A = this chain, B = another copy of it.
């Protein structure tokens, strides 16, 4: 018998017997899997979760666990902080941010049900303080809740939808939201009659002669076990940020980035299993990629330039949008030019000073930029910044002031050692219910996916916002759990 592997489904006719049965089988105990388990159990289904690690958590536990929520007049926190968020603003913003790649049906449901998702998370035990974190930051390191985590206030999005902060940070100090959220969700799973198997590696799906997924093969206690899933299998096993071979083959742009964000189980196992039974994979080249150049927010007063000494984006964008445009620039060189007094070393960046100078030309020469162009870039920027204007990229006046000498330039060139963290955003094509689709958009009976094993609401670094991945994973995990529980059991 050949090795059991995710890319090769096991035929039902090859399954001599079921070793165990359940209604709903969930692969992966991160945010998506946990939320699916809770909802499926609450709807009366028998649920089993199979997790390859020795504990719950997944990559949600490694994140800050912000969740992107709003609309409908505002969450309790948004209203307390004075924001009346409109669903249409949230919808229009997300549609514009995802651009050509947007999945309208998912974004629609995500926005329409966002307040209900907030309430559900609170009912589970998530604590959100009625307070705002006003700094420009990658995450709130205080226990404050509400913050801008995307490009809402940046051109061109601020002209498309009324900006509103939608990142919701848990009431916990430091970067501890992930462990807290997964602690809460794990406890909720444990309170329910959910079977959880740790150190359990999903090996392959079991599919019958008409293509319906009937269960899966799991390695537990060093044995292959055939698990029957009467109502369906949910693939919630994460993306493929840790699978170097898949990255190089499917997402070579991400393979250029140097810091994979995720847990060791992010090997694309769920994606491979889904594809093995005809699941369509979409946007496999896409990912979150970032250049964490703030904090300190003072660096946003600077300008990013490319190897030509030209600006290429408004610098008040979210850090992932900045990175998205940085890696597209021709020639080797990305530099952040600031006034020396505004320079404070960014803690997450690992960047070196490329040059300093009393004049731009002196610094440009030290960096090795073409003479005469950076000085125009800065002079043009300064002339208009003095009037609170940025005719080229419409950076918000909040971040506009002339860049005065002495100057410093930070080397943010990809490959220079500067940190470009990343994770993957491509995966299985699914309906908002989590049902996995074939290439001609037919549902594969019995198969569901959520979290980064699927291609969800966030699809491009150009339009990413903190809280979108955990938001998508928890919300669509719930949707899949409900749907699976409501599916008629196969006898």
Contacts and interface: CB of A to CB of B under 8 A. Distances in A.
A481 B209 CA distance: 32
Interface residues of A, number: 55
A5 B440 contact: yes
Contact of A281 (B156, B281, B325): B281
A114 B96 CA distance: 46
Interface string A275-314: 1101011111110000000000000000000001111110
A261 to B, nearest CB: 20
A11 B209 contact: yes
A80 to B, nearest CB: 36
A388 to B, nearest CB: 15
A6 B442 CA distance: 12
Q: How many subunits of this chain does the assembly comprise?
A: 2
Contact of A376 (B255, B272, B376, B438): B376
B392 A439 contact: no
A370 interface: yes
Contacts of A283: 285
A313 B256 CA distance: 22
Contact of A391 (B101, B312, B373): B373
Interface string A401-438: 00000000000000000000000000001000000001
A7 interface: yes
B313 A330 contact: yes
A129 to B, nearest CB: 37
Contacts of A278: 7-8, 275-276
A398 interface: no
Contact of A7 (B311, B371, B391, B440): B440
Interface stretch (A49-57, A61-69, A245-253, A469-477): A245-253
A491 interface: no
A94 to B, nearest CB: 16
A20 interface: no
Given A100-B255, A285-B283, A7 B439 contact: yes
Interface in A189-214: 209, 211
A120 interface: no
A209 B7 contact: no
9 contacts: A272-B439, A275-B280, A308-B311, A308-B393, A309-B392, A313-B330, A370-B392, A372-B380, A376-B380
Interface of A: 5-8, 11, 13, 99-101, 156, 209, 211, 246, 249-250, 252-253, 255-256, 272, 275-276, 278, 280-286, 308-313, 325, 328, 330-331, 370-373, 376, 380, 383, 391-393, 429, 438-440, 442
Given A99-B252, A373-B392, 12 more contacts: A7-B440, A249-B429, A275-B278, A275-B439, A283-B285, A285-B286, A308-B393, A310-B310, A312-B330, A313-B330, A370-B391, A373-B380
Give the 6 A-B CB pairs with smallest separation, nearest first. A100-B252, A370-B391, A308-B392, A7-B440, A7-B438, A376-B376
